[in-house]
Amino acid sequence: MADYFKEVIEQSSLHPKPAGLVLQYGTAGFRTNANQLDHIMFRMGLLAALRSKKTKATIGVMVTASHNPEEDNGVKLVDPMGEMLTATWEGFATQLANTEQEELLTALKDIVKKEEINMNQEASVFVGKDTRSSSASLSQAVLDGVHALGGHSKNYGLVTTPQLHYMVCCKNTHGKYGDATLEGYYSKLCQAFLQLTKNASNRTDDQKHLCVDGANGIGALKVREMESHLKKELQISIFNDGSEGKLNHQCGADFVKVQQKPPTGIDMNSGDRCCSFDGDADRIVYYYTDSQGLFHLLDGDKIATLISTFLKELLVQAGLDLKIAVVQTAYANGSSTHYLENTMKVIVRCTKTGVKHLHHAAQEFDVGVYFEANGHGTVLFSKSAEEKLQQLAEATNINDERKKAALLLQSTVNIINQTVGDAISDMLLIEAILAIKGMTVQQWDAIYSDLPNRQLKVKVSDRRLIETTDAERRAVSPAGLQEAIDTLVKKYSQARSFVRPSGTEDVVRVYAEANTQESANALAHEVSLAVYRLAGGVGDEPKPLH
């Protein structure tokens, strides 16, 4: 044991921590300017090795800052089943990251003791990185950390975040989930796609065509690698492929969602079906422009609606009595909730913002579909649901209708990356559903119309003054705030509004929706004023929106 720690001290001096720098491991791991991350990467290599010894399984470490600007970077750890790092260990990550150089060994030994880790246990860590220029040296720092504790590593090099999650899950299920290689990933997903699209009749080349904005990131490279596996059944034009533009600059899912306009660098005609990935390809949004040149966005809510409708219809057709639910956050558009509950008769569950909460809630159902409005999401199938599908697909004594539905459901399970939201997997699933239903992007968009909405931010002196309940839909403090919001909401038709503290800065986020854009804007402004007055706003009071 002592030998390992000697190695840690020697190696650690090559990755020194700037004194006084404090960072927090959040939902997205650590993220900041790349120049401040070398010591963090080394230490996350150490932590991943410890986590591997503790779980007796392979752990993943992904070097990426997703949709942040090019000059940033970040790191997140992946637990054995491909899920996000468990909460206790997020605490350890923060602790380890902020420990001054001379206290590092003490901090490590503290984790070993608390978690009763056997240091002689083998450790195995998979490492991946995105296309940022800083990712090469930073992923090397992670590997140095793993090796300092005698861990084994496999360096996957350039991969999307969801691909690394997939590799970790394949490894720890001993290949049951798939083959832990890029080739294995492409063939599993694309074979499922080809199986599904066999059920789509006479698609034209136009219908097979899709424009993809790769955010000048890793997603573009990986779509290009995958193309040959699709046998021309999906014909992709890739824009913002990284050959000249800057990562996430005026492109990518986040830009399109926030700006409500197409990315620069994409060449689209009216009615063309287009989608954008984010920087590490774990989010996707769709859009098109109509004949009037108006931009239409199909966000996570629209995606969840399309997928859950498809799954519900197949479950009915297969005669399978499985509980299907859609998990949303308070940000989901009221129209989508209304359509799912009243027209599709699907259970809708609302949780706090953050993928972890959605993922967790989705696990409570046989089939759980979750998407954040920003386009991050996936579908989870319970073990028993997968077994029932398997039995039905192999059964000989059932009618063709049920059998066909069961086989379609099986291919759907195979096309989905259940570990985490995956832009490539979600794109293939959406494309297959549109093909099978013979739907255009316009018809998909018309399933329901979004209620106009508006989001605003109010600067406050201390965001902790605001506490919420009921999945962040109601404020419990400061006193009087919720009553004020309730009164304001009553003034408008089909209106709803909520406020929640930001997870990262001293601002309160305000969401409002109503039957017209004017009403939504007015409500958002009035609620902002209430927050400013009752929750310690700083600076000038919010101005009305013109």
Question: Would you name the residues annotated as active-site residues?
Answer: 66
Q: Is 278 annotated as a binding residue?
A: yes
Strands annotated E in 1-142: 30-33, 58-63, 72-78, 124-129
Q: For residue 261, count other CB atoms closer than 10 A to its CB.
A: 13
Q: What DSSP state is assigned to residue 478?
A: S
Under 8 Å between Cβ of 29 and 75: yes
Q: Is 374 annotated as a binding residue?
A: yes
Question: Which helix (H) or strand (E) segment is 11 a member of?
Answer: helix 2-12
- Helices 400-415/182-197 angle, 10° precision: 150
What length is written for the chain? Answer: 546
Under 8 Å between Cβ of 164 and 78: yes
Q: Is 100 annotated as a binding residue?
A: no
Q: Is 501 annotated as a binding residue?
A: yes
Q: Is 528 annotated as a binding residue?
A: no
* CA–CA gap between residue 267 and residue 86 (Å, rounded): 42
Q: Is 216 annotated as a binding residue?
A: no
What does the buried/exposed string (b/e) look like for 459-470 if buried means 16 or more CB atoms within 10 Å of the residue's CB? bbeebebbebee
Question: Which helix (H) or strand (E) segment is 210 a member of?
Answer: strand 209-213
Question: Which helix (H) or strand (E) segment is 298 a member of?
Answer: strand 295-298
- What's the gap between Cα 35 and its chain centre? 26
Q: For residue 126, count other CB atoms closer than 10 A to its CB.
A: 26
Q: For residue 102, count other CB atoms closer than 10 A to its CB.
A: 10
* CA–CA gap between residue 534 and residue 482 (Å, rounded): 10
What 3-state class would DSSP assign to 418? coil
Q: Is 282 annotated as a binding residue?
A: yes
Q: Is 99 annotated as a binding residue?
A: no
Q: Is 206 annotated as a binding residue?
A: no
Which residues is 237 bridged to in the sheet?
A: 211
Q: Is 453 annotated as a binding residue?
A: no
- Output phi, psi for 417, to 5 deg: -90, 100
* CA–CA gap between residue 464 and residue 477 (Å, rounded): 9
Q: Is 73 annotated as a binding residue?
A: no
- What's the gap between Cα 492 and its chain centre? 33
Residue 32: name the closest of 75, 78, 62, 61 by CA: 75
Instruction: Please give the structure tokens belonging to residue 43.
Output: 């230490």
Task: Count how many Cα atoms sit within 13 Å of the Cα of residue 42 in the half-sphere of its side chain.
Answer: 21
Instruction: Please give the structure tokens belonging to residue 372.
Output: 């954040």
Sheet holding 496-501, edge to edge: 453-459, 507-513, 496-501
Instruction: Please give the structure tokens belonging to residue 256.
Output: 């399109």
Q: Binding site residues for Mg(2+), as ranges? A: 66, 278, 280, 282
Q: Binding site residues, as ranges? A: 66, 278, 280, 282, 372-374, 500-504, 509
Q: Binding site residues for substrate, as ranges? A: 372-374, 500-504, 509
